[in-house]
Structure 1
Amino acid sequence: MRKMQSIVCLLCVMTGLYAQSDSAEVEAIKAVIQSAYVEGIQNEGDIEKIDAGVHPDFQLLGIGEDGALWHLPISEWKEKIKERKQNGQLPRATDNLISIKFLSVDVTGTAAVAKFEFYVGKELKYIDYLSLYKFDDGWKLVSKIFYKFEN
């Protein structure tokens, strides 16, 4: 009986440690999304923040009006961001800032998917799905798909 209690106690401790570890990974993922994606790409156009959290092979994927799948590599997206900075479109004005609300973050080992609402100002514009992998230097965004709300 005592042996069974010890095993149950050990399993409870191990489950708690796993949950804490998973929670730490979720927080790390949220932090890289906030810094690299929300601040770096969307609000500030900060290339250093983008490079710190986005893998060089990142792809933005979407569906065109003709139903064809299109993709935008991060290298091309960064060029568009640089142009927007030069044209004065970035950084964004306070009333036009991008914010997000996390709906879920699913982590399995070194792979993760985050789903969140994407707001421009106070208006919900998209549901984004970001895929991430954990590398030696931390979590990196590797791809994005999205749903755009028609207004």
Structure 2
Amino acid sequence: MLSIPDLIRKKRDGGQLTDEEISFIIESVTTKRMQDCQIGAMLMAIWQRGMVAAEIQSLTRQMMLSGEVMRWPDEWKRLMVDKHSTGGVGDKVSLVLAPALAACGCKVPMISGRGLAHTGGTLDKLESIPGFNVQQSAEQVQQKPDHSCKSDGK
């Protein structure tokens, strides 16, 4: 039987976590069975001891699988691009590059944050644009856009 305190101790003492143990930790976090203080202790143990490549891969995979995994249409295969932030303050690239890439026909799914530092996050800025909707369902994200020019005939 897996135990959170035992797993924290294992990592604190320099042990390598197995796929099963990492899966248990992520499931415990997402179902709120792991206390905040235990999450903090595990993160501190990981920060102090580090993780080997196999642990990082497993952690990344389990974090991904803990949420909704989207599948993109096959016809988007060569159109998908990623703009990943390297950090910093101000959204100097995201707010310009993503729409420019989309205007060129690229698909640019992005994960962005809220309430970051004194400038706010990308979502905060986007929500300040009248009519811009950041709350999109998976179906809306995968819809084919209507690029036709609508005119009232005048």
TM-score normalised by the shorter chain: which range applies? Answer: under 0.3
Structure having the larger proportion of residues in helix: 2
Larger Rg: 2
Q: Which has the higher contact order (CA 8 A, sep 6+)?
A: 1
TM-score using structure 1 length:
0.22
TM-score using structure 2 length:
0.21
Structure having the larger proportion of residues in strand: 1
